[in-house]
A = this chain, B = another copy of it.
Amino acid sequence: MIAVIMAGGSGTRFWPASRRAEPKQFLKLTGDRSLLQATVDRIAPLVPIDRVIVVTNARFVDRVAEDLPDLPRENILGEPVGRNTAPCVALATAWTESRFGPDEVMAVLPADHYIGDEAGYRSVLAAAESVAARDGGLVTIGIKPTRPETGYGYLELGDEESAMQGHAVRRVARFVEKPDRERAMEYMKGGNHLWNSGMFVWKAASIRTEIERQIPDLVAGMNAFRDTRDLTAELARRYPAFPSVSIDYGVMEGAAAVRAIPGDFAWNDVGSWEALRDLGPLDEAGNVVRGDAVLVESHDCVVAGDGKLIAAVGVRDLIIVQSGDAILVCPRDRAQDVRLIVDRLAESGRDGIL
C-alpha cells in the first residue's frame, strides 16, 4: 500500500504557534514529534517510508524534508498553488500509477490529525486496504461519534453490511454537511452516522475512474503527471488551471460505491487550540499546559508557551498561548475565532507576524 499524506494546510486557527511559514502540520502540538512526523510514524508498521508520499505546497518541500529526513526527496510533491484536495489526490494517483501501476492501493491521509490508539487505527487501515484491493471502489474510514459534534461532516450509513478482518464494512448512503446541535445529537444516539475523518483507501484505478467521470478537467493533467520526466515543469504548467475542489465534494459525494469502515481509535482532527483539552493531559484543575506555566486558582484552561513563563490567577475556560513574538488570549468557546485576529493583522498589513 502507498500512503499519500496531504500536508498542504496553511490554517490559521493555531496562530500564533502556526504561521504562514510554519503551518499546523509542522507543529509539535501533541508531543515531541510534529503532527506530520507522527502521521508517518504511526503508519510505519504498515507502509515503509519509501512508499510514503507527501503532497504539500511547493514552498514547504524543504520543510517537509527537514521533518522527514528518511523520506526520499522525490516522494515530496510540491503543489505550485493550493487547489484543495481533489487535485492533490489526482496528482498522487498519477504518481502511484507511474511507479506502481493502476492496481496499487493508496491510503490518503491528512497530515495534521491526532490518533490515540495507533494499533487500533492500523487495524482499521489494514482492513480498508483489503476491502479496496478485493472489491475496488472507494473506502472511507469513519469515526464513531463520541459527542454531538457540530464541527464535522458525517457519513450516513446504508443497510448493507459485511465484515473484513473483524471490522464492519458499511455502505455509505450519503455524505452529510456539518449538522446543527439537535441533529448531531440524533446522529450520535442513532448509531447510523460516522464522522467523516477525511481518510480514504482505494486502488489508483478506482479513484481515477471516479475523477474521470466527475472532474474531467483534471484528467489531462493527471495523464501528464503520470507520463512526464519533468514533473515540476508539468505541475507549474497544469496546476494553476485546476479547479479548486475538495475530494469530498468533488468525488466522494457523487461516487458510485463508497463503503466505510467504522473506527474507534481516539481520533481528533486537532481543529483549534480547544482540541488540546481533548488530547490532555489535564492537571487536577482541568488545565492543559504545554511549556512553562504557573496557574493559581485557575481552571479548565489551555495554556501553551514557547519559552516565556505564562502566569495566571483566577481564570477559567481561557486559551492562553505565547509563541515567539506574539501572545493570544481567548475564551475556549471562541477558539475558532482566532482567525478574526489573523484577518485583522492581515488587513493592517502586519504580514511579518502571520
Contacts and interface: CB of A to CB of B under 8 A. Distances in A.
Interface string A343-354: 011001000010
B309 A334 contact: no
Interface in A31-76: none
A102 interface: no
A322 interface: yes
Given A311-B16, A314-B331, A315-B331, A296 B337 contact: yes
A162 B141 CA distance: 89
A310 B325 contact: no
A320 B313 CA distance: 11
B313 A334 contact: yes
A314 B341 contact: no
With a 10 A CB-CB cut-off, give which of A308, A309, A329 has the most chain B CB atoms: A329
B309 A337 contact: no
Contact of A313 (B308, B325, B330): B330
A13 to B, nearest CB: 12
Contacts of A311: 15-16, 326-329, 341, 345
B294 A309 contact: no
Contacts of A310: 326-327, 329
A312 interface: yes
A327 B337 contact: no
A195 to B, nearest CB: 27
Contacts of A305: 327
12 contacts: A294-B348, A296-B337, A296-B340, A305-B327, A309-B327, A310-B329, A311-B327, A312-B330, A313-B337, A314-B330, A315-B330, A320-B329
Given A294-B348, A312-B330, A322-B327, 7 more contacts: A15-B311, A296-B341, A297-B337, A308-B327, A309-B327, A310-B329, A322-B322
Interface of A: 15-16, 294, 296-297, 305, 307-315, 318, 320, 322, 325-331, 334, 337-338, 340-341, 344-345, 348, 353
Q: Which 10 A-B pairs have the closest CB atoms?
A: A314-B334, A312-B329, A309-B326, A313-B330, A311-B341, A296-B340, A313-B337, A310-B327, A311-B328, A314-B331
